[in-house]
Amino acid sequence: MATYEDFQKLDVRVGKIIGVEDFPEAKKPSYKLQIDFGSKIGIKKSCAQLTQNYSEEDLQGKLILGVVNFPSRQIGPAVSEVLTLGVPDERGECILITPEQTAPLGSRLY
């Protein structure tokens, strides 16, 4: 069983998607994202399987939650620096966890 101390080790922050591009080299349909986590953390890259529920236009400017303290992960020719968080819909496709638009960039989940 996980403890509260285990939860505190995760650094989950509010970010804003500022760039989206197709990722045709991925095994499953995906996007490459650029996410702004504010001045303290900066802009990070993420790869996410979101094409079933979101267009590139839908994602531009969207606030999301992301784990910013995992090690970077190589996904094909791209590097994912953060884990963008979501939950499955009824088909098992990702729905992003999105905070209110008033949440400041870089705010930490607690």
Domains of the chain: 4-96 (2.40.50.140)
Q: Is the pLDDT of residue 56 over 90?
A: yes
Of residues 63, 71, 70, 50, the one with CA closest to residue 9: 70
Once rounded to an integer, what is the mean pLDDT over residues 80-102? 96
Render pLDDT for 6-51 as a digit per residue (tens, 0 to 9): 999 999 999 999 999 999 999 999 999 999 999 999 999 999 999 9
| pLDDT for position 101 | 84
Please, what is the end-to-end C-alpha distance for the chain in angstroms? 19
The residues, any chain, with a CB within 8 Å of residue 35's CB and separated by 6 or more, are: 15, 16, 17, 18, 43, 44, 45, 46, 64, 66, 82, 84
Overall size of the chain counted in residues? 110
The pLDDT of 99-107, averaged and rounded, is: 93
> In the predicted model, is pLDDT for residue 80 greater than 90?
yes
